[in-house]
């Protein structure tokens, strides 16, 4: 089970962080914000992308959207979202539970600077009803992420 690989990741690398589970689905930014009692912006969503033959993860705030022009400049090619099947195969996590922790295979992880606005964010933890509370800096440290600027912030009312 995907959430178990995330639990194992934290048991080994950050035993002070606990996976929290909700009785409700947290498969979308809006549902996750409601399930875990935070604003949509505080949800750290993980985008699984392909740029050329590279697969990578970008973690950004819930109210941000990938800016294709910035992403092309940073990654040297046009990013394409992975399909649900491709994302599951690459990460070991289902859509709605994709996170940079407990990955099936090592992938490059990038954290968007939009996350730095918060002292704590809530990324998924491998399933559609699990998450963790973590500082953006600690998340980047634990996943060896590089900080980048590839998103465009949307107004809360624009987030679906």
Non-local (6+) Cβ contacts of 158 within 8 A are 63
Predicted confidence band of residue 159 (pLDDT cuts 50, 70, 90): very low
At residue 63, the pLDDT reads 95
pLDDT at 121 over 80: yes
pLDDT tens digits, 52-71: 999 999 999 999 999 999 99
Q: Where are the beta strands (DSSP E) in the chain?
A: 20-21, 43-51, 54-61, 64-66, 79-81, 109-112, 122-123, 130-131, 146-148, 151-153
**What value does the mean pLDDT take over residues 17-38?**
94
pLDDT at 156 over 70: no
At residue 158, the pLDDT reads 46
Which domains, ranges and CATH numbers included, belong to the chain? 2-150 (3.90.960.10)
Q: What is the pTM of this model?
A: 0.93
At residue 157, the pLDDT reads 47
């Amino acid at each position: 089970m995907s959430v178990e690989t995330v639990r194992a990741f934290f048991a080994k690398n950050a035993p002070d962080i606990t996976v929290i589970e909700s009785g409700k689905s947290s498969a979308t930014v809006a549902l996750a914000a409601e399930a875990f009692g935070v604003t949509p912006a505080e949800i750290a969503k993980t985008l699984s992308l392909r740029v050329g033959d590279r697969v990578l993860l970008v973690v950004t705030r819930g109210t941000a959207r990938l800016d294709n022009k910035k992403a092309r400049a940073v990654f040297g090619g046009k990013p394409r979202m992975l399909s649900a099947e491709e994302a599951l195969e690459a990460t070991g996590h289902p859509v709605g539970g994709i996170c940079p922790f407990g990955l099936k295979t090592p992938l490059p992880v990038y954290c968007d600077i939009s996350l730095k606005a918060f002292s704590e964010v809530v990324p998924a933890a491998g399933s559609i009803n699990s998450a963790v509370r973590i500082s953006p800096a600690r998340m980047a440290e634990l996943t060896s992420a590089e900080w980048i600027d590839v998103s465009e912030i949307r107004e809360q009312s624009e987030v679906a």
